[in-house]
Amino acid sequence: MTVVAVLNYKGGVGKTTVAANLAAELAYRGQRVLLIDTDPQASLTLSFYGADEFATQFTDRGTLLHWFEAAVREQNPRPLREFVVTPPRVNERVRNNGGRLDLVPSHLGLIDIDLDLAAYVGGSQFAISGSGYLWAHRLLADALAEPEFAEYDLVLVDCAPNFNMITRTAVVASDHILVPAKADYLSTLGIDYLRRKVAELVRDYNEVAGEQSIAPDVLGIVFTMIQHSADGPIIAVRNYVTHTEQYGVPVFRQMIRESKTQFATAGERGIPAVVLPNVNQNVQYELVELASEFLSRVKVAQPV
Whether the pLDDT of residue 17 is over 90: the answer is yes
Q: What is the pLDDT of residues 123-156, one digit of tens each?
A: 655 667 666 889 999 999 999 999 999 999 999 9
Chain CA centroid to CA 199, Å: 19
Condensed to tens digits (0 to 9), the pLDDT of residues 170-188 reads 999 999 999 998 877 766 6
User: Does residue 221 sit within a domain?
Assistant: yes
Asked whether residue 298 is domain-assigned, the answer is no
CATH number of the domain residue 95 falls in = 3.40.50.300
Give the separation between CA 224 and CA 12, rounded to whole angstroms.
Answer: 10
Q: What are the E-state strand segments in the chain?
A: 2-6, 32-37, 100-104, 154-158, 176-182, 217-224, 228-229, 232-233
User: Average pLDDT, stretch 65-88?
Assistant: 89
> Residues 176, 298: contact at Cβ < 8 Å?
yes
Count of CA atoms in the C-beta half-sphere (13 A) of 155: 27
Residue 17 lies in a domain: yes
SS3 251: strand
In a domain, 299, yes or no: no
Residue 190's pLDDT band (cuts 50, 70, 90): confident
Residue 193 makes CB contacts below 8 A (sequence gap 6+) with: 9
**Helix (H, G, I), strand (E, B), or coil: what is residue 117?**
helix
* Domain of 251, in residue numbers: 2-292
Q: State residue 20's pLDDT score.
A: 96
Residue 57 has pLDDT above 80, yes or no: yes
Which amino acid type is present at position 69? E
Residues linked to residue 240 through DSSP beta bridges, in sequence order: none
Q: Residue 301: inside a domain, yes or no?
A: no
With contact defined as beta carbons under 8 Å apart, do 100 and 27 qualify?
yes
Q: Tell me, yes or no, whether 302 lies in a domain.
A: no
Query: Is 303 inside a domain boundary?
Result: no
Is residue 93 domain-resident?
yes
SS (HEC) of 204-218: HHHHHHHHHCCCCEE
Number of domains in the chain: 1
Query: pLDDT at position 261, please?
Result: 59
